[in-house]
Structure 1
Amino acid sequence: MTLAKASRVQTEATPALDLRPIAATLGTLLSILGASMLLPALADFRANSGGAGAFVGSAAVTIFVGVLLSVSGRGASVPRLDLRQAFLLTTSVWVVLAIFATLPLIWGPPHLSVVHALFESVSGLTTTGASVMTGLDAMAPGILLWRAMLHWFGGIGIVVIAIAVLPALSIGGMQLFRTESSDRSEKFLPRAGAVAKGLLLAYGVLSVLCIIGYALAGMGLFDALTLGLSTVSSGGFANSDSSLGVFADPAVDYVAIVFMLAASLPFPLYVRALAGDPGRLFRNPEVRTFFAIVLVFTVASFLQQVFQGVAAGEVALRGALFTVASLISTTGFMSVDYTNWGPLSDALFFVLMFLGGCTGSTAGGLKTLRLLIAMKAVRQHLKRISYRNGLFPIRYGGAPVADDVVASVLGFVFLYIATFAVVGVALSAIGLDLRTAFSAAIACLSNVGPGLGPIVGPATNYGNLSDPAVVILTLAMLLGRLEIVTVLVLVMPRFWSR
């Protein structure tokens, strides 16, 4: 084959990456984000808090850039987005939106630095709920509403990506959620659009119910609205430095428990429930395993409180259930400071931070589905050692699981643990103690929010960390929310050349 012919074949096999669909999509989303900034501006204007101008200016800049990107992507056929474009779009959406979401935080009260503002906006959009801000009890309503809105936008974005995008990208066993379709090509956006409608309806209904629940529990309308958005998105941003502990109300705690757990369940099953099939939600093996984990950790935490004299009766049970629901859902709300319950609680809750909710929910973490598949793979391996001629297929929901799905899950679990270790070691290297470094690493990677200890624990925040530590944790939040592989693929030269 001649050099010219070989070059022509290579060009035909590896077409140039068309960025126009990505620009068009980013432009649309930025325009929506900019327009949404007018709501906090209105809240600040009505409260005469002085922050409305920053939101209006931020909205103007964001919408302007969004329109420019939309115009630059004009003529692109978005439904023809291929897998390379999908990987790039998935990451760029979170990064670009987070950058523009910082503008009100920098230009208006609380006038955060660029590093802290980016941490706060990434924490909002990834629904981590870790914060560098203090004085929330006296904060302007616009900023509080903006933080809750970032959570809510990020939550629905997470669900859509988990159900409509990641299965097509074959990340971490998400192939199990690939829906039946006559189109077996690598084009996912048509299906994503159809799926998003049902998911948005379920997400909206659950949000309204949560807001109503908080209002009936005695909250004011503004608190009910903002905390409702934070709860259903598994976010964790609150309107007080004391989180939900400021209310000291069992009714508020129980409403939060119900909806934190509800947000941890697969949203496609809510779509099925709205369509008239609610039983599927309780027949799902992942859901049953999730509630079994919640039960085990709640009982363990309750007994630990009773035996060590921390609390007893309903108070201990509510504290245990609230904390377990908050951590496993990766919401990160606090009603009591569980770091004062002793070393055993630290160990229990540290493990809980890894687990997370169900696949297709707003929760972060490893996800219950992957834990199920990984445990089945370990059991299969042990059986093969004992019975070398036996056949032991892995099944999920009665159906066999393909070997490539199992390999994808195990590979993801390894990457997750390796990423946690790298982040924890990096934080230790810049001066943090081991408890703070590794609890902050998993809290941000799993999008939980609060870590353990007096520096990043639930009674404090991340504002006292150095800028290098804040930058590392910002990257950890993005990696955790984008399922790690989506980001790592982009740094491979092969991705750009082939």
Structure 2
Amino acid sequence: MLLRVEWGSVTRIVSWAPVLKVLGVLWLVLALFMALPWLVLFVERDPDAPAFGLSILLILGLVVVAWLMTWRAPIELKPRHMFVLTTLSWVSISGLASLPLVLGAPQLSVTNAVFESVSAITTTGSTILVGIESFSDGIKLWRGIMQWLGGIGIIVMGIAILPFLKVGGMRLFHTESSDWSEKVMPRTGGIAKATLGVYLGFTLAAAIAYWLGGMVLLDAIVHAMTSVATGGFANSDASFGAYADRPHLLWMGTLFMLTGALPFVLYIRMLRGTPSALWRDEQVRGLLVLLTFVCLALTVYRIVNGTAPFDALTHATFNVVSVVTTTGYASDDYTLWGPLAVVAFFYLTFVGGCSGSTSGGMKIFRFQIASEMLKNQLRFLIHSNGVFASRYNGMPLTDDISRGVVAFSFFFFLTIAGLALGLSLLGLDLVTALSGAATAVANVGPGLGDTIGPSGNFASLPEAAKWLLCVGMLMGRLEILTVLVLLTPMFWRK
């Protein structure tokens, strides 16, 4: 499979067969996971079973085509391939995952089905579905599986691909990960396998805990997958609020959301004999300090406004952790808590969890590095001839890391601004447009306001707005620069 690229007098022949070959493998994995809800529906003799069966056959057909076109080609991925593969894999999987939603009982339009699947695969958690309780077990299970796949996908991408592309935060820990590769795991594939094992372990633990806590088995499984994946899909229109009368489940949810928002490579290090690895990490300490401060502040704010102390602490903690980890569950409509809460949750939308986790957002390490850069700038203003060395997690902050943080932050907010402008041109009000853009790019889920707030959903938005939000969700999940580089002539020329 060859592609002729012409720029002026330069003509280059680029083979994209390795990209298509890997895509075929990923599509096959998607089909295998799609067989799980199909099997459930087949046993239950549910009318949705043929929709999943047909979707599996269509995907397998694409796999066969990809294999026939590339079966002789070796898998030799170059940096150029990796950029294209990263973007195409998320786009194509999101599209193919929407097939059961179009062919099955929901009978969604292509726009709504793609929006739902993009939201799931990117673990954003925004939904257009109403009456989720009435859908088949297979549809509910598939929504959970999509988010679970997206969660492990972003971890593997963050560990194995983005550092190679010099995009994302995991390259900050290059020295440590090199140490693992030499002394603990010989190849990146070993780290990926260990990560999958930890991810499966947390998911199983969450499912058992939810089930013992009183959830029915299907709800326990789906909520386990979407909690650890920090995705936020639930089996009720009320989100996690369906269990608001069982505070022990809210505390369990808080724990597993936080588990998914911490670096998975540190879990591996803990299992390999360094029990203090989590606490020694500056990201983890910064995230825990932030969560503690905000949860206590909002708890006091709600108590002052007349809420019972334990209820105030439970719901403040659950919803703050949900938004910061970009899970997007809601146990209550926090936009009704008062103006301070509304502004606080809007700010929290941008934060995100740790690099190397399932969460989205800016990631806490970028705020920490920006803070260090600000301190140095203030020192320089006072001592203009001074030389100040900055360190993070015991490592020197090099110029390329600082440039990466600045570039990502600029394009992150520029993407939100452009997306909000586009949504406003489609007739959305200021709160809906701005919070919708922010929650899409940060992969959080609910926005603010009556339409897309924690008690609403995205069903009533114009179709063009949903496509814009899909673009925002994908760009946010792929760290923005991974996508933008494909739009530059330099990428295709050099």
- Report TM bin, short chain: over 0.9
Alpha-carbon distance in structure 2 between the residues aligned to 1:202 and 1:444: 28
Question: How far off is 1:172 after superposition?
Answer: 4.3
| Cα contact 1:160–1:192 (8 A) shared by 2 | no
Choose from 473, 482, 489 the match for 1:486: 482
Alpha-carbon distance in structure 1 between the residues aligned to 2:69 and 2:374: 50
Alpha-carbon distance in structure 1 between the residues aligned to 2:94 and 2:197: 25
Asked whether 1:85 is paired with 2:68, we answer no
Q: Deviations over 1:263-293 (max 9, x none)?
A: 1100000111222222111111110000011
How is 1:364-403 mapped onto 2 (pairs within 5 angstroms)? 364-403=360-399
Asked whether 1:96 is paired with 2:53, we answer no
| Cα contact 1:168–1:178 (8 A) shared by 2 | no
TM-aligned CA distance change 1:108 to 1:173, over 3 Å: closer
Asked whether 1:333 is paired with 2:348, we answer no
Q: Deviations over 1:83-102 (max 9, x none)?
A: 11000000000001111111
Question: How far off is 1:16 after superposition?
Answer: 3.2
Alpha-carbon distance in structure 2 between the residues aligned to 1:355 and 1:40: 34
How is 1:121-132 mapped onto 2 (pairs within 5 angstroms)? 121-132=117-128
| Cα contact 2:322–2:329 (8 A) shared by 1 | yes
Alpha-carbon distance in structure 1 between the residues aligned to 2:43 and 2:132: 18
Choose from 229, 235, 241 the match for 2:237: 241
Secondary structure at 1:464's aligned position in 2?
coil
Question: How far off is 1:174 after superposition?
Answer: 3.9
Asked whether 1:281 is paired with 2:278, we answer yes
Choose from 20, 23, 32 the match for 1:23: 20
| Cα contact 1:51–1:109 (8 A) shared by 2 | yes
Which amino acid is the alignment partner of residue 315 of structure 1?
Answer: D
| Cα contact 2:169–2:356 (8 A) shared by 1 | no
Question: How far off is 1:109 after superposition?
Answer: 1.1
Asked whether 1:115 is paired with 2:111, we answer yes
Asked whether 1:159 is paired with 2:155, we answer yes
Equivalent residue, structure 1, for 2:183: none
TM-aligned CA distance change 1:487 to 1:313, over 3 Å: same
Alpha-carbon distance in structure 1 between the residues aligned to 2:85 and 2:163: 15
Alpha-carbon distance in structure 2 between the residues aligned to 1:267 and 1:485: 23
Superposition CA RMSD, Å = 1.7
How is 1:86-485 mapped onto 2 (pairs within 5 angstroms)? 86-178=82-174, 191-247=187-243, 248-309=245-306, 311-485=307-481
| Cα contact 1:18–1:85 (8 A) shared by 2 | no
| Cα contact 2:160–2:188 (8 A) shared by 1 | yes
Question: How far off is 1:10 after superposition?
Answer: 6.1
Alpha-carbon distance in structure 1 between the residues aligned to 2:473 and 2:238: 23
Alpha-carbon distance in structure 2 between the residues aligned to 1:10 and 1:475: 32
Secondary structure at 1:358's aligned position in 2?
coil
Q: More displaced, 115-124 or 425-434? A: 425-434
Alpha-carbon distance in structure 2 between the residues aligned to 1:209 and 1:47: 26
Q: More displaced, 228-237 or 45-54? A: 45-54
Secondary structure at 1:447's aligned position in 2?
coil
Which amino acid is the alignment partner of residue 74 of structure 1?
Answer: W
| Cα contact 1:130–1:449 (8 A) shared by 2 | yes
Which amino acid is the alignment partner of residue 250 of structure 2?
Answer: D
| Cα contact 1:173–1:406 (8 A) shared by 2 | no
Alpha-carbon distance in structure 1 between the residues aligned to 2:14 and 2:368: 37
Question: How far off is 1:66 after superposition?
Answer: 1.4
| Cα contact 1:322–1:335 (8 A) shared by 2 | yes
Which amino acid is the alignment partner of residue 130 of structure 1?
Answer: S
Question: How far off is 1:181 after superposition?
Answer: 5.2
Identity %: 42
Asked whether 1:32 is paired with 2:24, we answer no
Question: How far off is 1:453 after superposition?
Answer: 1.0
TM-aligned CA distance change 1:424 to 1:158, over 3 Å: same
Which amino acid is the alignment partner of residue 28 of structure 2?
Answer: S
Equivalent residue, structure 2, for 1:67: 64
Which amino acid is the alignment partner of residue 294 of structure 2?
Answer: F
Which amino acid is the alignment partner of residue 117 of structure 1?
Answer: A
Q: More displaced, 49-58 or 191-200? A: 191-200
Question: How far off is 1:191 after superposition?
Answer: 4.4
Which amino acid is the alignment partner of residue 247 of structure 2?
Answer: P
| Cα contact 2:195–2:264 (8 A) shared by 1 | yes
Which amino acid is the alignment partner of residue 237 of structure 1?
Answer: F
Secondary structure at 1:168's aligned position in 2?
coil
Alpha-carbon distance in structure 1 between the residues aligned to 2:81 and 2:321: 36
Q: Deviations over 1:335-365 (max 9, x none)?
A: 1111111111110000001000000000000
Q: More displaced, 269-278 or 41-50? A: 41-50
TM-aligned CA distance change 1:26 to 1:192, over 3 Å: farther
Question: How far off is 1:178 after superposition?
Answer: 2.7
Question: How far off is 1:173 after superposition?
Answer: 4.7
Alpha-carbon distance in structure 2 between the residues aligned to 1:429 and 1:125: 27
Alpha-carbon distance in structure 1 between the residues aligned to 2:426 and 2:241: 32
Alpha-carbon distance in structure 1 between the residues aligned to 2:264 and 2:460: 36
| Cα contact 1:202–1:274 (8 A) shared by 2 | no
Alpha-carbon distance in structure 2 between the residues aligned to 1:325 and 1:93: 29
Question: How far off is 1:77 after superposition?
Answer: 2.6
Alpha-carbon distance in structure 2 between the residues aligned to 1:315 and 1:265: 26
Which amino acid is the alignment partner of residue 292 of structure 2?
Answer: L
Which ranges of 4 or more aligned residues in structure 1 deviate by more than 4 Å? 179-182
| Cα contact 2:94–2:121 (8 A) shared by 1 | yes
Alpha-carbon distance in structure 1 between the residues aligned to 2:449 and 2:187: 45
Secondary structure at 1:68's aligned position in 2?
helix
Gaps of 5+ in 2: 1-6, 180-185
| Cα contact 1:172–1:411 (8 A) shared by 2 | no
Number of residue pairs aligned between Structure 1 and Structure 2: 480
| Cα contact 1:266–1:360 (8 A) shared by 2 | yes
| Cα contact 1:167–1:177 (8 A) shared by 2 | no
Question: How far off is 1:424 after superposition?
Answer: 1.1
| Cα contact 2:158–2:168 (8 A) shared by 1 | no
Alpha-carbon distance in structure 2 between the residues aligned to 1:31 and 1:67: 9
Alpha-carbon distance in structure 2 between the residues aligned to 1:223 and 1:392: 53
Alpha-carbon distance in structure 2 between the residues aligned to 1:335 and 1:256: 10
Question: How far off is 1:45 after superposition?
Answer: 2.4
Secondary structure at 1:167's aligned position in 2?
coil
Alpha-carbon distance in structure 1 between the residues aligned to 2:325 and 2:50: 36
Which amino acid is the alignment partner of residue 221 of structure 1?
Answer: L
Equivalent residue, structure 1, for 2:42: 45
Alpha-carbon distance in structure 2 between the residues aligned to 1:408 and 1:271: 26
